């Protein structure tokens, strides 16, 4: 299977996403190529990773780098969303500074979205910006969070409220790593792939309806789907790095999704990010249907595919009790997509016809949420 490259162009900065099988065992050469360093043997490389990834893949990566005479500093943090915190950030930064890494040295984020967001944020603020490389290990990270340079941690006031825009020197996407990913995590990543189709690529959604099952097993179809997803996101980011315009389309399903993640206290036993997005997208479609923007049968079609792939689609699919509609609204209001007290949602006018709806009245959302909660009570 061939290695593919997607190039991301952001302002003056240009870097590659390398996508293919078994790239961890060939990482040294790629890192060398991306950092343009002559004194490669003098480089220090911090590998920020989590307990899950470390137990399966860290040894392989370290062996490859050590073989190529790169000094590595592994920094292993607890797996899970709770690590996107101020205290874990400080721990990671302290370890990198204690190991005396300099600006021209490099931080590798070797893990899923949490590791990419946290490691990238640390790299962006140590010595006002160090070299940084993403090595995403989950489907979600490979097609979404590793592309586009958003970094961040959570605050008690909401998700990702503290962070930077910081582009890496390269992204190394080893598709074989997905073989050890728990199936539930894979499905959650797949929800974001569906999202790309729903935003403005109806042909990609139709392709996924036909080929989705094949994406779940290693092979050229999986790589093809990852390449197409990365290319799609890279193109949006290239046109709108700082999310002043169309990049907001990527938030399809995310305002409702973040609301549900907050409502379930980021408890992965109840809901993980991609699952929240799956339900969030259905909510966005249902709300669009209520506004007569689409025919409800379209929502059913999307729901059928999500269900076929094993994803939750409704509030009743979330284990445990949800708060009332008024409380859910407060979670939405503190979400970062709020601008000047008007609510911004990504709604849709048809398959692959999403758009940014500003000035959505909070009352309409509240009424909608009350309905949805009534359906499951």
Which of 41, 103, 184, 358 is the binder for a second copy (CB under 8 A)? 103
**Interaction with a second copy in 299-338: which residues (CB under 8 A)?**
334, 336, 338
CB 149 within 8 A of CB 15: no
Stretch that binds a second copy, among 55-63, 87-95, 108-116, 197-205 (CB under 8 A): 87-95
Binding segment (CB under 8 A) for a second copy, from list 127-135, 170-178, 220-228, 289-297: 127-135
Residue with Cβ nearer a second copy (2 or 244): 244
Nearer Cβ to a second copy (42/304): 42
Tokens of 188: 């959650």
Residue 279 is labelled as binding a ligand? no
From the CA atom positions of the chain, what is the Rg in Å? 20
Question: Known binder of ligand: residue 192?
Answer: yes
Q: How far apart are CA 131 and CA 231, in angstroms?
A: 23
Least distance to a second copy, CB of residue 95, Å: 11
Stretch that binds a second copy, among 62-70, 102-110, 220-228, 278-286 (CB under 8 A): 102-110
User: At its nearest, how many Å lie between a second copy and the CB of residue 156?
Assistant: 7
Scan for tokens 């046109």, then name that residue: 239
Residue 233: active-site member = yes
Contact flag: residue 124 with a second copy (CB under 8 A): yes
CB-count burial class (<10 Å; 0-12, 13-18, 19+) for 41: exposed
Site string for a second copy, 159-178 (x = CB under 8 A): --xxxxx-------------
The active-site residue, picked from 57, 84, 95, 150, is: 150
Residue 97 interacts with a second copy (CB under 8 A): yes or no: yes
Stretch that binds a second copy, among 28-36, 121-129, 227-235, 270-278 (CB under 8 A): 121-129
Q: Which stretch binds a second copy (CB under 8 A): 62-70, 122-130, 209-217, 226-234?
A: 122-130
> Can 154 be counted among the known catalytic residues?
no
Q: Is 35 in the site for a second copy (CB under 8 A)?
A: no
Candidates 66, 157, 220, 320: give the one binding a second copy (CB under 8 A): 157
Residues 264, 270 contacting (CB under 8 angstroms): yes
Pull the structure tokens for residue 283.
């909510």
**Residue 98 is a binding residue for a second copy (CB under 8 A):** yes
Helices 273-290, 362-376: inter-axial angle, 10-degree rounding: 110
User: Of residues 252-271, which lie at the interface with a second copy (CB under 8 A)?
Assistant: none
Q: Would you tell me the crossing angle of helices 202-215 and 296-308 to the nearest 10 degrees?
A: 20
Residues 139 and 193: their CA atoms lie apart, in Å, by 9
CA distances from 86 to 46, 51, 74 (A): 19, 19, 20
CA 54 to chain centre: 20
Q: Is-catalytic flag, 32?
A: no
Indicate which residue of 254, 261, 275, 303 is catalytic: 254
Q: What secondary structure letter does DSSP report for 145?
A: I
CB 45 within 8 A of CB 73: yes
Catalytic residue flag (residue 192): yes
DSSP line for 255-322:
HHHHHHHHHTTT-TTT--HHHHHHHHHHHHHHHHHHTTSS-HHHHHHHHHHHHHTT---SGGGSSSPP
39 binds a second copy (CB under 8 A): yes
Name the burial class of residue 250, with classes exposed (0-12), middle (13-18) and buried (19+) by CB atoms within 10 angstroms of its CB: buried
Residue 184 annotated as catalytic: no
List residues near a second copy by CB under 8 A: 39, 42, 86, 90, 93-94, 97-98, 100, 102-104, 121, 124-129, 150, 152, 155-158, 161-165, 242, 334, 336, 338-341
Q: Which residues are annotated as a binding site for NAD(+)?
A: 113-117, 137-138, 150, 159
Q: Which residues are annotated as a binding site for Zn(2+)?
A: 192, 254, 273
Active site positions, annotated: 128, 150, 192, 233, 243, 247, 251, 254, 258, 273
């Amino acid at each position: 299977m061939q290695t593919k490259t997607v190039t991301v162009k952001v302002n003056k900065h240009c870097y590659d996403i390398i996508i293919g099988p078994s790239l961890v065992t060939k990482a040294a050469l790629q890192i060398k190529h991306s950092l343009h360093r002559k004194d490669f043997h003098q480089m220090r490389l911090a590998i920020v990773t989590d307990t899950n990834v470390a137990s399966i893949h860290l040894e392989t990566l370290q062996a490859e780098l050590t073989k190529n005479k790169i000094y590595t500093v592994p920094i292993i943090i607890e797996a899970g969303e709770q690590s996107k915190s101020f205290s874990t950030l400080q721990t990671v930064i302290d370890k990198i500074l204690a190991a005396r890494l300099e600006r021209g040295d490099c931080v590798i984020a070797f893990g899923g979205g949490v590791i990419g967001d946290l490691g990238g944020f640390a790299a962006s603020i140590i010595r006002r910006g160090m070299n940084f490389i993403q090595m995403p290990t989950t489907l979600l990270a490979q097609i979404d969070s590793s592309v586009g340079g958003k970094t961040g941690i959570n605050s008690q006031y909401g998700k990702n409220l503290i962070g930077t825009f910081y582009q890496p020197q390269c992204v190394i996407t080893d598709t074989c790593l997905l073989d050890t990913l728990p199936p539930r995590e894979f499905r959650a990543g797949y929800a974001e792939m569906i999202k790309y189709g729903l935003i403005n690529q109806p042909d990609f959604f139709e392709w996924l309806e036909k080929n989705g099952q094949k994406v779940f097993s290693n092979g050229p179809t999986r790589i093809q789907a990852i390449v197409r997803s990365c290319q799609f996101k890279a193109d949006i980011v290239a046109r709108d790095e700082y999310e002043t315009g169309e990049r907001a389309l990527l938030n399809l399903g995310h305002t409702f999704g973040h609301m549900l993640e907050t409502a379930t206290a980021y408890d992965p036993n109840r809901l993980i990010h991609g699952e929240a997005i799956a339900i969030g997208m259905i909510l966005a479609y249902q709300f669009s249907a209520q506004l007569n923007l689409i025919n409800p049968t379209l929502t059913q079609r999307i729901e059928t595919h999500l269900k076929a792939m094993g994803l939750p689609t409704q509030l009743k699919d979330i284990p445990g009790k949800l708060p009332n509609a008024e409380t859910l609204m407060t979670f939405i209001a503190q979400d970062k997509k709020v601008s000047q007290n008007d609510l911004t949602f990504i709604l849709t006018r048809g398959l692959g016809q999403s758009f940014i709806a500003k000035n959505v009245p909070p009352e309409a959302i509240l009424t909608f949420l009350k309905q949805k909660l009534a359906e499951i009570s």
